[in-house]
Structures are given as C-alpha cells and as structure tokens.
Amino acid sequence: MTSRRTLLRTVALSTAVGAVGCIDQNDENSDEEVSHVNDNDDADDTEGGIGEPTFEVVDVSGSDYELGANVAFENDVVGVSGTISGNDSCYSARLHSVELGGRTLTVRVESFDAAAADEICMEILVGITYELTVPIIGEPPDEVVVKHNGDRVQTAQR
C-alpha cells in the first residue's frame, strides 16, 4: 500500500509541475493572431462594436475541473471564464476568434499542444481554465455564444 501511495503522490506532483511548465510555454507557442471581427464597423457607436480582447490561461489541472463557460455582462465589458479540455499535460488554450454579428457576440476558444520539442508530457486529460475580457463599444450584445474547439458550450442572454 505504501508504494501505491508513493506512486500516486509522484504522479500528482509531476502533473502539477508539468502543468505549470506548460502554462509558461503558452506565450512562446501562440504566435497566431486572434481574429476579432466587428460586423458593425460601419455603424455609429450607439449600435455597438468590440475593442481588443484580453485572454489569459489561469490554470491547468488534471483533476477536479468542470468543462464549460460562464458569461458576465458588465457595463462596457463582456467577461467569459471557462474550462476547456486538453489531451495531455502540455496542452494550453488560446483565443481563436471574437466576432460581433448583429447583436450576437461569438467567442471561439481552442486547446492546442504547447509542448516544446524536447518536453515530456503526461498522458492525462486536463482542464485548462481561462479568462477573457472583451471591451464593448456602444450598446452591449444581446447574446454571447461561447465555443470550445468548435462545439457550443454556452449561450448567454443579457
């Protein structure tokens, strides 16, 4: 029994250390530009628009996570916090796109392999928790749709 406990502690510690390393790798491996489309560019500010979004991965966990997203409407900002799945301990998340079409804001987040070429990753499904802030210009959207890796995980209405 003692050797099993030692093994479990080692795996848990390795997962935590590996996950922290992968979070640090995120900025180096995410050179892609985030697409943010504002279909209301020709409209005046009362019709609405979006500013430059901010996205941050705040945690990578191999246990005790719940996949999904939450949306908050606050004055001139829409906030999204969520957890997306990753295939191993070196996965991270990035903002794929933010689009405002009519009165609907669509947010797309994707998980990706952020491992360096020589990095060893643990074969464990992980939950990658992120926070996103989208500045709103003018009237806020009536609806926010959040998609993880192409699948709709949340629709929130104001």
pTM (2 decimals)? 0.73
Task: State percent of the chain over pLDDT 70.
Answer: 70
pLDDT in tens, 48-66: 699 999 999 999 998 889 9
Q: What is the pLDDT of residue 128?
A: 98
Overall average pLDDT of the 95-120 stretch: 96
User: Rounded CA gap, 97 and 95, in Å?
Assistant: 6
Residue 47 binned pLDDT confidence (cut-offs 50, 70, 90): low
